[in-house]
């Protein structure tokens, strides 16, 4: 349970490695390429596991690596129990798991249960079988479309040659599965067992709040991305989705050799999200409200308090996250005036202040890593990578860009391949042409350069993760303390005190303070603006 005493908030509940874990998200297509085809691959992930262990993370989450036509960056899956030949093989999965476990790293893989690829044999069989067939019951086929809209723009229904229409909340190449079908439920049980038998430590469940649709398909002409829509729409956060999560939780718990974890992508408010982590459902969900909170002290304190209290109230630990493969990178988002960051950025957009964005991203990282609970890190955040804000239209591959005729610039800017070596071709990512071009600014942020620089963002993250583990900051309580200014957050994470200065003027630490770590390597007891310090 959660207890509150004055300004102290303490998380409770049963143990589990995920409760305090730092999980590193790998987007395999953009991590490291070993065969020169310009796409990152599983051997590339394995080749860099030692660096991730040295960084200090506890687990690696792999975005989809399954066979796919690659219409939506691998989230359009044509074989749920395979590996795309462009990215490797099942043998490569086994090698990766063996190496990760030897290093003490757990491995979480993506489960994508909302939809398949239109190239999946299930959908091809549905097209061939015709209206009213058991094969079509796997998906949502209707004789007439509704006014539902796709997340990627345009109608959420596409007509097939025999006149029926099928639902796709995302691209038309991603038909939605019908979770009232017993065949779908049984087939996905087999998918979970396939990967659990292979040795994965858990699943990140894509669109975890959107699997069940209102069976009456009521009129809903609003945009799926409109404010509040993810809670109100007849395809988000339906009550029946909880039965699915309970079933998967019970299935995962039949693997008694070691604890397996389920984390949901559940894009709803904290008050609704906590319903997904009740004791018999998922172990974790992503804390979207924290991710989108502005660099503003009152708002940050409010979301931290709400999260710790709400998740603790159901016996779960909160999660904290600053970015992922779908959102504007933190180092760019924080480079705009507070509250003015756009959803996407391109060459015709107002550009972020790069120096300010990196400074605030470093401070936000130390703030996040001092909070009790679990943290998720998107690949490249530890290098301070910003968005590729000047990506040309001709290079964009996200289907959202095409479906909206460029109104939505898509997510390519945050998916640009990693820079490993400043002076190598493709910055050490590949010997071939990367699937997305890298900005010139990435060279200065390459891992090999940062590794040798004690003031670098990589060294900051490594130091913070080491201290976080040594001092047990993932567990315990948080107690807010008196702040020396209106735009300053201060809290006690015994034995560490945290001061985050979000204001415009320096603030002074107590005269006997010993600085353990600062997001500004030049700062001492005077904490400059946009700086977070751990001290005792």
Sign of CA dihedral 322, 117, 203, 182: positive
- The Cβ-side half-sphere exposure at 362, using a 13 Å CA radius, reads 27
Cis amide linkage into residue 392, ω under 30° from 0:
no
Nearest residue to 375 via CA among 496, 287, 299: 287
Core vs surface per residue 507-520: b (16+ CB within 10 A) or e = bebeeebeebbbbb
Please count the other Cβ atoms lying within 10 Å of the Cβ belonging to residue 505: 11
In this structure, which long-range contacts are made by residues 104-107, counting pairs with CB atoms below 8 Å and at least 24 apart in sequence? Answer: 104/53, 104/58, 105/49, 105/52, 105/53, 105/57, 105/58, 105/59, 105/60, 106/17, 106/21, 106/58, 106/59, 106/60, 106/201, 106/202, 106/261, 107/59, 107/60, 107/61, 107/62, 107/199, 107/200, 107/201
φ, ψ (nearest 5 deg) of residue 123: -75, -40
Distance separating alpha carbons of residues 113 and 468, to the nearest angstrom:
34
Residue 498 near residue 458 (C-beta atoms within 8 A):
no
- The residue annotated as part of the active site, out of 41, 58, 265, 382, is 265
Residue 103 near residue 58 (C-beta atoms within 8 A):
no
Concerning whether 206 is annotated as a catalytic residue, the answer is: yes
Concerning whether 265 is annotated as a catalytic residue, the answer is: yes
8-10 and 477-480 beta bridge pairing: antiparallel
Residue 13 near residue 485 (C-beta atoms within 8 A):
no
φ, ψ (nearest 5 deg) of residue 320: -135, 140
SS3 label, residue 115? strand
Nearest residue to 174 via CA among 127, 116, 226: 116
- The residue annotated as part of the active site, out of 171, 206, 237, 530, is 206
Residue 111 near residue 191 (C-beta atoms within 8 A):
yes
Instruction: Give me the active site residues, please.
Output: 206, 265
């Amino acid at each position: 349970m959660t207890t509150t005493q004055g300004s102290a908030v303490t998380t409770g509940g049963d143990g589990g490695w995920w409760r305090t874990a730092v999980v590193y998200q790998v987007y395999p297509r953009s991590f490291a390429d070993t065969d020169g085809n310009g796409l990152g691959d599983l051997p590339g992930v394995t080749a860099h596991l030692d660096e991730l262990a040295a960084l200090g993370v506890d687990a690696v989450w792999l975005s989809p690596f399954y066979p796919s036509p690659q219409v939506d960056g691998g989230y359009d899956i044509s074989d749920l129990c395979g590996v795309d030949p462009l990215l490797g093989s099942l043998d490569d999965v086994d090698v990766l798991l063996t190496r990760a476990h030897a290093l003490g790293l757990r491995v979480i893989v993506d489960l994508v249960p909302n939809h398949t690829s239109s190239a999946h044999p299930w959908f091809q069989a549905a097209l061939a079988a015709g209206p009213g067939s058991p094969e079509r019951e796997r998906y949502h086929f209707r004789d007439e479309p509704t006014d539902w809209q796709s997340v990627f723009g345009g109608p959420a229904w596409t007509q097939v040659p025999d006149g029926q229409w099928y639902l796709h909340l995302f691209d038309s190449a991603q038909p939605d599965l019908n979770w009232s079908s017993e065949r779908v439920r049984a087939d996905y049980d087999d998918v979970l067992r396939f990967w659990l038998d292979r040795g994965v430590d858990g699943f990140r469940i894509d669109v975890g709040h959107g699997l069940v649709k209102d069976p009456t398909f009521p009129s809903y002409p609003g945009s799926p991305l409109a404010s509040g829509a993810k809670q109100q729409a007849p395809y988000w956060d339906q009550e029946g989705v909880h039965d699915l999560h309970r079933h998967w939780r019970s299935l995962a718990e039949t693997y008694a050799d070691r604890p397996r974890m389920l984390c949901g992508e559940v894009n709803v408010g904290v008050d609704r999200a906590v319903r997904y982590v009740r004791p018999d459902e998922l172990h974790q969900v992503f804390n979207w409200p924290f991710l989108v909170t502005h660099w503003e002290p009152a708002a940050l304190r409010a979301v931290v308090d709400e999260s710790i209290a709400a998740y603790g109230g159901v016996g779960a630990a909160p999660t904290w996250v600053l970015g992922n493969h779908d959102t504007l990178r933190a180092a760019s988002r924080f480079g705009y005036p507070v509250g003015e960051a756009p959803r996407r950025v391109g060459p015709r957009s107002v550009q972020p202040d790069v120096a300010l964005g990196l400074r605030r991203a470093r401070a936000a990282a130390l703030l996040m890593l001092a909070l009790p609970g679990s943290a998720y890190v998107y690949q490249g955040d530890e290098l301070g990578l910003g968005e590729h804000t000047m990506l040309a239209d001709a290079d964009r591959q996200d289907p959202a860009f095409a479906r909206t005729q460029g109104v939505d610039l898509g997510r390519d800017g945050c998916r640009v391949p990693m820079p490993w070596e400043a002076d190598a071709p493709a910055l050490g990512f590949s010997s071939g042409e990367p699937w997305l071009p890298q900005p010139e600014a990435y060279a200065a942020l390459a891992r090999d350069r940062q590794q040798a620089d004690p003031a670098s963002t990589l060294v900051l993250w490594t130091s913070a993760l080491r201290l976080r583990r040594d001092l047990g900051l993932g567990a315990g309580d948080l107690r807010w303390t008196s702040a020396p200014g209106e735009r300053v957050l201060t809290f006690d994470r015994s034995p560490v005190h945290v001061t985050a200065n979000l204001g415009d003027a320096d603030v002074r630490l107590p005269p006997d303070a010993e600085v353990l770590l600062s997001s500004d390597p030049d700062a001492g007891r005077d904490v400059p603006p946009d700086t977070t310090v751990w001290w005792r």
